Amino acid sequence: MRWSKAYLPTYKESPSDAEIPSHKLMMRAGLIRKLTAGVYSFLPLGWRVLHKIEHIVREEMDRIGCQEIMMPILHPSELYEESGRLKHFGPELFTLKDRRGRFFALGPTHEEVVTDIARAEIKSYRQLPQTLYQILVKFRDEIRPRFGVMRAREFIMKDAYSFHESHESLAETYTNMAEAYRRTLDRCGLENVMVEADAGKIGGDVNHEFVVFAEHGESEILICSCGYVANSERAESLGKPLASKEKVQKKPEQVSTPKMKTVEQVSNFLDVSPAHLVKTMLYKSGDSMVAVLIPGERTLNESKLSKVLDDPYVEPLRDDDIKKLTGAEAGYAGPVGLPGDTRIIVDPTLDEYDGMIVGANATDAHLRGVKMGRDFEATERADVIAAEEGDRCKRCSDQILQLRRGVEMGHIFKLDTKYSKAMSATFLDNEGKERHFIMGCYGFGVSRAVAAAIEADYDDKGIRWPKTITPFHAIVLPVKMSDADTMMAAESIYAELREAGWDVLLDDRDTRAGVKFKDADLIGIPLRITLGERSLKEGKVEIYHRRDDRTELIDREGVLDYVREFYSA
Ligand code: ATP
Ligand code: MG
């Protein structure tokens, strides 16, 4: 491609709404353009990268026997009523009406549609297993679209779905899929890790994410040197050791804590470490009231609580309901003296406590020296705290968890029969019995991968593409456009490389060399072939390696071999 004729706009400045490096660089290097919040066009440079990623994804899916299909974007909303996900997606689902007033959704993911296909087509265990995939645009009305194509409202996903007669068969596909994801990311040149994750809106019990390490990633990964890795939304830990403890008293002592509702206020007022306090958080699950107890300085992980209660719709109690249940204003709830049918869930980190300071269920008062088992009974113990960096690892109970940030690139799930049951999708097994499909689903963020690759490696000058997904293999940069020999050499190297099948960009723009060098750095092509008047006279050209910022002078004749060798290594 000749830059002088190409649609490759570059800018010095990035737009003010671009917060992270990949977003800034994608705008500045002319990879994408914003249409409206969370909706982007891919310009030629961005599209080339996207294409290369798609190609790798396709090869790896095909290699493990997945078959490519294409499902519609427009989904009748009844499908979501059937699966029960209408409520779950809530406002994240883009909906619209046709001329007859029928509701549709723009597909956020395709579990419902693919299950609808399978229930009509797959009748016998003999047709199983099957794995279907597609690479298609998805729509989600994200609360906070941001970071460019990283968290968009319209984005490209590869989604695969598998159907099985047994859990063994699902496990086999799941393992193959995990390996395919690992290979895909490795081939894209992205350092990645597979982590235990939270199932979110998709559902099912077993699921893993593939995360690419990047400083500005939205995902937080907790890692232990024993080998444990988990997304912080899911991670388990033993908390931090207690520095000091509240003494148990003969009986709970009520202390006045006027207008003090927060852990910080109460611990300051009583002059104790926040670790002496236990937070009592009140929730409603179906018709039952739930009190959740966690250490004062910790936060509750609502997703874990949801799982413990087996209820995706648990809700915190509103202030008036808190008053009804405890008799006190919000901020003074505690486990002592709650109505007998309240479920009291206690986080296991509280086992280390002797006494506790808790709300007194009376406005402006707390109780000191409370003992669990004497003053109140826990209905159940369950891990519900959000794990944090510096916590003790639960797996080895020895090492400390470290935090690393990253970008979630893929998420794979064992769905089991969640969708097939909800949507009555069945087949006949080898005994002629009707059974629900056992399913898996596997998402990969194709458009997000473009941003993740930049986020994973850039410098203050611009992008540094990995070899496998770079939009061009080489950029040919003639320094002095007015020099006939330079231009002849540029044209001949350009032609030679192109004929050999390499993607080459010839910067034949009639601008200052300084601008061209800056732009070449910005768009991040791994090899820059610089043609200078003086070195050409000696039959030499300069090769600049963008990633390791290194220059080499080589013979003009050796360019093709050099490029070939670089890309085969
Ligand atoms: P997240 O936690 O980032 O919102 P998710 O759990 O909603 O992701 P899935 O439903 O599992 O994601 O989607 C599969 C993949 O699609 C994700 O791993 C991610 O790479 C990509 N993806 C999801 N949401 C977006 C988005 N808003 N913009 C771009 N890519 C996305
Ligand atoms: Mg999401």
For the record, the structure tokens of 413 come out as 């799930």
pLDDT of 412-466, one tens digit each? 999 999 999 999 999 999 999 999 999 999 999 999 999 999 999 999 999 999 9
- pLDDT for residue 205: 73
Pair 188, 56: CB distance under 8 Å: yes
CA of 292 to the centre of ligand 1 (A): 30
Please name every residue paired with 95 in a beta bridge, in sequence order, or none if there are none: 105
CA of 215 to the centre of ligand 1 (A): 18
**Residue 497 to residue 476: CA distance in whole angstroms:** 10
**Residue 541 to residue 247: CA distance in whole angstroms:** 78
**Residue 41 to residue 44: CA distance in whole angstroms:** 10
CA of 334 to the centre of ligand 1 (A): 38
For the record, the structure tokens of 467 come out as 């070899």
Question: From the CA of 92, which ligand is nearest?
Answer: 2
Q: 3-class DSSP state for residue 389?
A: coil
Mean pLDDT over 68-74 rounds to 98
- pLDDT for residue 483: 96
pLDDT reading at 18 higher than 70: yes
Report the predicted TM-score, pTM, of the whole model to 2 decimal places: 0.87
181, 196, 408, 409: which to mutate for ligand 1, most atoms within 8 A of CB? 408
pLDDT of 291-344, one tens digit each? 999 999 999 999 899 989 988 889 999 999 999 999 999 999 999 999 999 999
CA of 114 to the centre of ligand 2 (A): 20
Within 10 A of 496 (CB to CB), how many other CB atoms are there? 15
For the record, the structure tokens of 61 come out as 């899916």
Question: From the CA of 140, which ligand is nearest?
Answer: 1
- pLDDT for residue 204: 67
Please name every residue paired with 161 in a beta bridge, in sequence order, or none if there are none: 132, 441
Question: From the CA of 157, which ligand is nearest?
Answer: 1
Query: Which is the closest atom of ligand 1 to the Cα of 157?
Result: 16
**Confidence band (pLDDT; 50, 70, 90) for 477?**
very high
CA of 171 to the centre of ligand 1 (A): 23
Question: From the CA of 406, which ligand is nearest?
Answer: 1
Mean pLDDT over 69-86 rounds to 96
- pLDDT for residue 203: 62
Atom 27 of ligand 1: nearest residue by CA position: 151
Mean pLDDT over 233-240 rounds to 91
Pair 201, 85: CB distance under 8 Å: yes
Domains delineated in the chain = 15-236+403-454 (3.30.930.10), 253-381 (3.90.960.10), 472-568 (3.40.50.800)
**Residue 333 to residue 480: CA distance in whole angstroms:** 77
Angle at 490 between CA 487 and CA 495, to 5 degrees: 125
405, 448, 450, 455: which to mutate for ligand 1, most atoms within 8 A of CB? 448
The two counts, helices (H) then strands (E), for the chain are 15, 31
Per the document, the length of the chain is 569
Within 10 A of 561 (CB to CB), how many other CB atoms are there? 12
Q: How many CA atoms lie less than 13 Å away from 458 in the CB half-sphere?
A: 24
pLDDT reading at 202 higher than 70: no
Query: Which is the closest atom of ligand 1 to the Cα of 443?
Result: 14
The residue assigned the tokens 């003090």 is: 260
Mean pLDDT over 140-151 rounds to 96
153, 156, 157: which to mutate for ligand 1, most atoms within 8 A of CB? 157
Question: From the CA of 452, which ligand is nearest?
Answer: 1
CA of 371 to the centre of ligand 2 (A): 41
Query: Which is the closest atom of ligand 1 to the Cα of 142?
Result: 27
Query: Which is the closest atom of ligand 1 to the Cα of 410?
Result: 18
Atom 6 of ligand 1: nearest residue by CA position: 200
Atom 14 of ligand 1: nearest residue by CA position: 443
CA of 431 to the centre of ligand 2 (A): 41
Pair 208, 411: CB distance under 8 Å: yes
pLDDT of 275-304, one tens digit each? 899 999 999 999 999 999 999 999 999 989
Atom 18 of ligand 1: nearest residue by CA position: 410
Of the chain, the percentage scoring pLDDT greater than 90 comes to 93
The CA-atom distances, in angstroms, between 495 and each of 1, 502, 525, 560 are 10, 10, 18, 11
User: Within the chain, what is the greatest distance between any pair of CA atoms?
Assistant: 97
Pair 57, 444: CB distance under 8 Å: yes
CA of 180 to the centre of ligand 2 (A): 22
Question: From the CA of 198, which ligand is nearest?
Answer: 1
Please name every residue paired with 94 in a beta bridge, in sequence order, or none if there are none: 106
CA of 548 to the centre of ligand 2 (A): 35
For the record, the structure tokens of 376 come out as 């109140």
pLDDT reading at 211 higher than 80: yes
Contacts (Cβ under 8 Å, ≥6 apart) of 262: 331
In 3D space, the residue among 394, 311, 404, 401 whose CA is nearest the CA of residue 347 turns out to be 394
Residue 562 parent element (H or E): helix 559-568
Backbone conformation region of residue 424, classed left if phi is above 0, alpha if psi is from -120 to 50, else beta? left
**Residue 423 to residue 415: CA distance in whole angstroms:** 13
Query: Which is the closest atom of ligand 1 to the Cα of 200?
Result: 6
Q: How many CA atoms lie less than 13 Å away from 153 in the CB half-sphere?
A: 16
CA of 421 to the centre of ligand 2 (A): 24
Q: Strand runs (DSSP E) across 128-277, as ranges?
A: 130-139, 154-164, 192-196, 206-213, 219-223, 229-231, 253-256
pLDDT reading at 155 higher than 70: yes
Atom 13 of ligand 1: nearest residue by CA position: 443
**Residue 439 to residue 169: CA distance in whole angstroms:** 10
Residue 57 parent element (H or E): helix 44-63
Query: Positive or negative, the Cα torsion across 8, 13, 14, 20?
Result: positive
Contacts (Cβ under 8 Å, ≥6 apart) of 538: none
CA of 176 to the centre of ligand 2 (A): 24
ω into 129 cis (within 30 of 0): yes
Mean pLDDT of the chain: 95
**Confidence band (pLDDT; 50, 70, 90) for 553?**
very high
CA of 91 to the centre of ligand 1 (A): 16
In 3D space, the residue among 294, 290, 289 whose CA is nearest the CA of residue 356 turns out to be 294
CA of 208 to the centre of ligand 2 (A): 14
Question: From the CA of 218, which ligand is nearest?
Answer: 1
Atom 21 of ligand 1: nearest residue by CA position: 445
Q: Are strands 402-416 and 438-445 parallel, antiparallel or unpaired?
A: antiparallel
pLDDT of 361-392, one tens digit each? 999 999 999 999 999 999 999 999 999 999 99
Pair 419, 115: CB distance under 8 Å: yes
Atom 4 of ligand 1: nearest residue by CA position: 151
CA of 136 to the centre of ligand 1 (A): 13
For the record, the structure tokens of 233 come out as 């939304």
In 3D space, the residue among 253, 257, 256, 275 whose CA is nearest the CA of residue 266 turns out to be 257
* Protein residues with CB under 6 Å of any ligand 1 atom: 109, 140, 142, 151-152, 155, 157, 200, 202, 408-411, 443, 445, 447-448
Within 10 A of 463 (CB to CB), how many other CB atoms are there? 26
Q: 3-class DSSP state for residue 242?
A: coil
**Confidence band (pLDDT; 50, 70, 90) for 201?**
low
